[in-house]
Amino acid sequence: MTTDAPAHTLAEALGEVAKWKADEETRQNAELVEVDQEVQSLESAVANLNQQLEALAKFREELLAKSELLGSEEVQRSYAAIFTTLSSQTQAVLQRTAQVNIANGERAAAVEAALSSGEVAPLLEEYSQFKTAVEPTLSALPESYRTVMLKHHHDLTEQLKSHVNEAMSSPADLDVDDLTIEIVFAIDAPEDKPELLIVVIPVSEESAAEWASRDEDLQTLVSARVVQALYATIKESGPAGAEAVSGGHQGMLAVEVDILGAADDFGDKFIAAIEEVDKASPELNAAGISIEGRQVSVDFLLPPEDHTEGE
């Protein structure tokens, strides 16, 4: 800091004051310019940050919207995944069914050949003669003769059946890889209590719908065993008298049962019953087939249009 010499005159003194003022004004103006520039710079930065905030807020909204759709997307993808898998398993069952049919045909032929050449051959020959030569003429015979012949034929048939039953009491074994198929089911419990059971079995819908006009095959037996497990579960967990109603979905067999009043652990019991039936089904074991219960969310078994309707 410099110390000016005292003014000699008033004019000099006031002049110094004026000079001080002018210097101060110059310095303050310069500072104002700097502050204004800083303010402008900060305002620009704030505007930029605001833009970024707006962009982030918009992005966040988009993420939230996507997150909300995630649930329905999962349902649609699960539905597709389940039915694609079950469809594939159905094809595998159809192939296995064809193999079983061939094996059963071969075994029946072998049994017939064995009977034809064994100790029961005379019985089989007599049976054959009756079917081809006697039966067509029965109506022309007097009733007393007819009764005697029919009684004899009945006894003969029972003897032969006994032999055939013995030879065919167990199913034909297949030398094939094990095939595990999944019995997918869901329990609708809108009020936290089981109300409706939906089961999808990977066999063709026709195997059940057209049972009366079809020969029994592996598909018939797979679905029958699942229904056995189902009724065993109903017997244990209720509701008494519940009835399985069958139909089709995507060409596969679907079974629905009203289970209002069933125990809360119906699903677990059904899985256990399927496991038990699987172990005790010689025809499935011989065909190399295993069945396993798999519970999924009820939404996963409903077609996509049903979800749309519900929204």
Partner 1 sequence: MLDDLLPMNLVGAANKLGVSPFEVMRLLVASDGVPDNLHFTGDQVARLRQIGQIEDSWWEGVDLPEDANPLRQRVRAALQLLIDRGHVADSVTRMDNVWRGLTEEDCGLVNDALLALVDEGHLNQISRPNGTMISVNPASSDTIQQLASGAADTPGLSELYEG
Q: Are 265 and 237 in contact (CB under 8 A)?
A: yes
What is the Cα–Cα distance from 60 to 62, expressed in whole angstroms?
A: 5
**Shortest spacing between CB 147 and partner 1, in angstroms:** 20
Count the alpha carbons within 13 Å of 19 in the hemisphere toward its beta carbon. 7
- Residue 134 lies near partner 1 (rule: CB under 8 A): no
- Residue 240 lies near partner 1 (rule: CB under 8 A): yes
- Residue 246 lies near partner 1 (rule: CB under 8 A): yes
Candidate list 36, 54, 112, 306; residue touching partner 1; CB under 8 A: 112
Enter the tokens of residue 150: 């029919």
Candidate list 92, 164, 189, 196; residue touching partner 1; CB under 8 A: 164
Phi, psi of 265 (to 5 degrees): -95, 30
Cα 162–chain centre separation: 43
**Shortest spacing between CB 100 and partner 1, in angstroms:** 13
Candidate list 174, 232, 260, 272; residue touching partner 1; CB under 8 A: 232
| Residues within window 256-295 making contact with partner 1, judged by CB under 8 A | 280, 282-283
**Shortest spacing between CB 214 and partner 1, in angstroms:** 8
Q: For Cα atoms 116, 121, 125, give the angle at the middle one, nearest 5 degrees.
A: 90
Per-residue b or e along 146-181, where b marks 16 or more CB atoms closer than 10 Å to that residue's CB: eeebeeebeeeeeebeebbeeeeeebbebeeeebeb
- Residue 219 lies near partner 1 (rule: CB under 8 A): no
Q: Which is nearer to partner 1, 214 or 249 (CB)?
A: 214
**Shortest spacing between CB 248 and partner 1, in angstroms:** 14
The candidate with the shortest Cα–Cα distance to 222, out of 279, 283, 293, is 283
Cα separations (Å) of 73 from 187, 299, 304, 311? 21, 11, 10, 13
Q: Which is nearer to partner 1, 284 or 301 (CB)?
A: 284
- Residue 174 lies near partner 1 (rule: CB under 8 A): no
- Residue 208 lies near partner 1 (rule: CB under 8 A): yes
**Shortest spacing between CB 266 and partner 1, in angstroms:** 15
What is the Cα–Cα distance from 295 to 265, expressed in whole angstroms?
A: 12
Give Rg (Cα) of the chain: 44
**Shortest spacing between CB 216 and partner 1, in angstroms:** 4
Binding site for partner 1 (CB under 8 A): 108, 111-112, 127-128, 131, 157, 160-161, 164-165, 168-171, 208, 211-212, 214-216, 220-221, 223-224, 227-228, 231-232, 234-235, 239-244, 246, 280, 282-283
